[in-house]
């Protein structure tokens, strides 16, 4: 087992908009950050095709290309970007000990967690095949591409209701596919979708398949009580059954909510462990946008810089 030990001032774990923005700020502050990309370099945006809602790209940009721009900018100021997955941490002492790929050990004065969250999917082959071609896990990101068209959304929580209402503003028709005969959403959100004439709720219904070769043309659904099947003619299929934050490796040391999102001190990116900061979707289950993730990445780098300055002055 190779046990190289490296000492760094700022270690950034994860490489979406939050991680790369933290890297840009930390490297410009002369902190020589090291960033490990994690299992999905570039994060969720690499499975997004067109990004049209990020400021500064008037013509829109492809998600992977945008993340490439972020990476180049971070590297230009001296960030060392490395491929690797954090497999263990020990935050019980300083410097913090982080193990990458079970073999490289990094001693870090500060750690910025920007590991993001992964959308939960239904697990259909057609869902994977048509991902980015009409299948999406973010109505706010991708709904605009389906304006004036018929779409479907799967889910029964507040997020699903919120996204269904959002889609109803821009699409001609929204089928809401709900597995049981009731929703988990709060009453006010349920009322909103039930009273919207553009939203048709399909109760006791599950998706059997998403139809289409190169893009979504429909969805085959089945009523799990009557066993009756129906083909919906749609061009967009949205999955809103929740996200899973990629925070499992930190759970022994970092305070999280019941879903695994990291708790930060309000108005900051500080966690319960001194010198460990969290930003992006790993600590944000409300907004989940590239631009908000980038904003908290900036905050995390500034928090880390101030923490290191205070250490030096002691």
Report the catalytic residues. Answer: 138, 141-142
Say if CB 10 and CB 112 are below 8 A apart.
Answer: yes
* CB-based burial label for 84 (10 Å; 0-12, 13-18, 19+): middle
Say if CB 96 and CB 111 are below 8 A apart.
Answer: yes
Instruction: Please count the other Cβ atoms lying within 10 Å of the Cβ belonging to residue 157.
Output: 16
User: How far, in whole angstroms, is CA 128 from its chain's centroid?
Assistant: 17
């Amino acid at each position: 087992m190779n046990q190289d030990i490296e000492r760094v001032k700022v270690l950034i774990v994860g490489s979406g908009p939050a991680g790369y923005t933290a890297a840009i700020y930390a490297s410009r502050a002369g902190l020589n950050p090291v960033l490990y990309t994690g299992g999905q370099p570039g994060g969720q945006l690499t499975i997004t095709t067109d990004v049209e809602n990020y400021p500064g790209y008037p013509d829109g940009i492809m998600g992977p290309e945008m993340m490439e721009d972020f990476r180049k900018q971070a590297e230009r100021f001296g960030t060392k970007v490395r491929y690797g997955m954090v497999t263990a941490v020990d935050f019980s002492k300083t410097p913090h000990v982080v193990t990458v790929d079970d073999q490289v050990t990094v001693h870090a004065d500060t750690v910025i967690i920007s590991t993001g969250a992964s959308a939960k999917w239904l697990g259909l082959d057609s869902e994977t095949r048509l991902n980015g071609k009409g299948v999406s896990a973010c109505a706010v990101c991708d709904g605009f591409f389906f304006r004036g068209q018929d779409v479907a959304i799967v889910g029964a929580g507040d997020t699903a209701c919120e996204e269904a209402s959002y889609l109803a503003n821009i699409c001609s028709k929204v089928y809401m596919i709900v597995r049981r005969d009731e929703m988990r959403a709060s009453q006010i959100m349920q009322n909103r979708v039930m009273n919207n004439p553009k939203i048709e709720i399909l109760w006791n219904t599950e998706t059997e398949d998403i139809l289409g070769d190169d893009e979504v043309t429909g969805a085959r659904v089945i009523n799990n009580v009557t066993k009756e099947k129906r083909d919906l003619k749609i061009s967009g299929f949205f999955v809103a059954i929740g996200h899973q934050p990629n925070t499992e490796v930190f759970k022994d040391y970092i305070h999280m909510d019941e879903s695994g999102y990291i708790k930060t001190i309000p108005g900051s990116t500080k966690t319960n462990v001194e010198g460990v900061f969290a930003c992006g979707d790993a600590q944000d289950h409300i907004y989940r946008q590239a631009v908000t993730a980038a904003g908290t990445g900036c905050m995390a780098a500034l928090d880390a810089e101030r923490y290191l300055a205070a250490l030096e002055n002691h």
